[in-house]
Amino acid sequence: MSRKIKLIWDFRGAVACETAKHHEVHLKEYINAEKLTLNITGFEIFSDVYARAFMVVSEENMILVRDALKPHRGEVFEG
């Protein structure tokens, strides 16, 4: 079984929370358009000025998605 990779987009500033929430909408649209097998997305709010959106992909799809969507970073998903 392949590993799952969590791709992360960081948002900072006064509208970070709203931006992260909205970015998740686009990640879901991408998953549907590309017919990806995993559909794990979300956003996390850390403070009034820092939030992040994320998407989990299979290791096989990581390069394709990374190059298309340009996440800020990634990590192995332990979920």
Residue 66 identity: R
Q: Stretch 37-47: mean pLDDT, rounded?
A: 97
User: For residue range 47-73, what is the model confidence (pLDDT) as tens digits?
Assistant: 999 999 999 999 999 999 999 999 999
CB distance 8 to 76 below 8 Å: no
Residue 1 has pLDDT above 70, yes or no: no
pTM for the model stands at 0.94
CB distance 45 to 17 below 8 Å: yes
